[in-house]
Amino acid sequence: MTTHHVLSSGLDVETLRKQFPVLHQQVNGRDLVYFDNAATSQKPISVINALIDYYQGYNANIHRGIHTLAEKATRAYEETRQVARSFINAKSVQEIIFTRGVTEGINLIASSYGRTFINEGDEIIISGLEHHSNIVPWQFVRDERKAKLNVIPVRDNGQLDLEAYKKLLSNKTKIVAVNHASNSLGTINPIREIIQLAHEAGAVVLIDGAQAGPHLPIDVQELDCDFYVVSSHKMYGPTGTGFLYGKKEILENIPPYHGGGEMIRECTFEKTTYNDLPYKFEAGTPNIGDVIAFKHAMEFIQSLGRESIAAHEHELLTYATARVSSLKGVKLVGTAPEKVSVLSFIIDGIHPFDIGQMLDARGIAVRTGHHCTQPLMDRFGIEGTVRASFAVYNTKKEIDQLVEGLERIINFLK
């Protein structure tokens, strides 16, 4: 009889790992250690089976078909929207727009909201912690609308400088777009305060929840954010989908992003009237299969409980931080008191690329480089970091393997 170690989070991780087929393999002759979860997480069997069931059992185009398969597919697709609504506690399913992921969600708002409400001389605020996907769309808007793009500076420990943020806000500020948690450093931002301050200045707020979706409880009504975006593939779901939450009254007052099927009510060559929310923003045949499977990913998270997930990941992060930072020459990048399970570091005299390759040779998958946050790397005067990011299925034993690998590299290259 085997007894599984049950962690303080109450999760039985060994049993949970059995739900993830991809984890049970050898890479370069060793058990795979997957620490690249901030890039994309692995998928539980329920998600994989949902994809198979859809394509084997009821693949059909949704919404307009009257046959049985179309009806079944439509129902499954809309069920995901209901689960998404409850996942972030939105008021209505009309506020959930399926997208390809966070990048598309941000581009949608930058285009539809930005081109409607941002004018010459207006200001947009982002932060120094942003991923390129929450920088570049705003540069488009800035250039097109002759607006100004301001950046909340980052402090040495990876926290945002809120005093500087307060000074940036004015009645010219039209939108504030920041992440809930940083993909490079893990910093959890005080978004409630950021949102409240923006609202006092009369600006709306978009929260990039790419790194929060799999880790943190999200309540958009409590936060009072205007837009919130997530990607399925970082939340144990399939790639190529995600959703945008937007307050209904705002979404109703901005134009569609893409034109095509599904999003119209009436279409003549002279004039087109648009469909109701959320369909107004879902032009064309959507990513039906992946959206359907995404429901199972959110249910997986809900079944474990985000508090339990956060507790387990916090335990991993604390352990990894202590062990990795004690190694010779290691410097942590990002030491904010509140972090999601991301450990970014550099090692004196060793290029991150070499560390990544050598860890891979031992079956350990980490990310190296700038993590699509070049301005943030510039802020710290570095080219990149090594990033180990943990998910609910990771273990302390795997962290020991990481540390062992790093020790070998340090000893070899010194």
Q: What residues make contact with another protein under the rule CB under 8 A?
A: 28-29, 350-354, 357-358, 360-362, 368-369, 383-384, 408, 412-413
Q: Are 288 and 54 in contact, with CB atoms under 8 Å apart? A: yes
- Give the pairing type, strands 364-365 and 33-34: parallel
Least Å distance, CB 352 to another protein, is 7
Q: Are 201 and 170 in contact, with CB atoms under 8 Å apart? A: yes
Least Å distance, CB 97 to another protein, is 32
Determine the Cα–Cα distance for residues 25 and 338; give it in Å rounded to an integer.
Answer: 33
Q: Rounded to a whole number, what is the largest CA-CA distance in the chain?
A: 73
Q: Between 161 and 383, name the residue whose CB sits nearer to another protein.
A: 383
> Which residue among 162, 372, 382, 413 is the active-site one?
372
Least Å distance, CB 55 to another protein, is 27
| Residue 225 annotated as catalytic | no
Q: Between 229 and 377, name the residue whose CB sits nearer to another protein.
A: 377
- Give the pairing type, strands 227-231 and 204-208: parallel
Determine the Cα–Cα distance for residues 414 and 410; give it in Å rounded to an integer.
Answer: 6
Q: Between 340 and 346, name the residue whose CB sits nearer to another protein.
A: 346
Least Å distance, CB 329 to another protein, is 14
Q: Between 53 and 360, name the residue whose CB sits nearer to another protein.
A: 360
DSSP character at residue 56: I
Least Å distance, CB 360 to another protein, is 8
DSSP character at residue 276: P
Helix spans in 89-190 (H)? 102-112, 114-117, 136-145, 162-168
Determine the Cα–Cα distance for residues 240 and 237; give it in Å rounded to an integer.
Answer: 9
Question: What token pair was written down for 369?
Answer: 């480089």
Backbone angles phi, psi at 198, to 5 degrees: -65, -45
Q: Between 106 and 359, name the residue whose CB sits nearer to another protein.
A: 359
Helix or strand run (H / E) with residue 378: helix 374-380
Least Å distance, CB 374 to another protein, is 11
Q: Between 7 and 361, name the residue whose CB sits nearer to another protein.
A: 361
Does residue 28 come out as left (phi exceeding 0), alpha (psi in the -120 to 50 range) or beta?
left
Cβ partners under 8 Å of residue 354, min gap 6: 409, 413
Q: Between 306 and 371, name the residue whose CB sits nearer to another protein.
A: 371
Q: Give the residue from 198, 289, 282, 273 showing the smallest Cα distance to 244.
A: 282
Q: Are 177 and 125 in contact, with CB atoms under 8 Å apart? A: yes
Determine the Cα–Cα distance for residues 409 and 79; give it in Å rounded to an integer.
Answer: 49
Residue count of the chain: 414
Least Å distance, CB 384 to another protein, is 7
Q: Which residues are catalytic?
A: 372
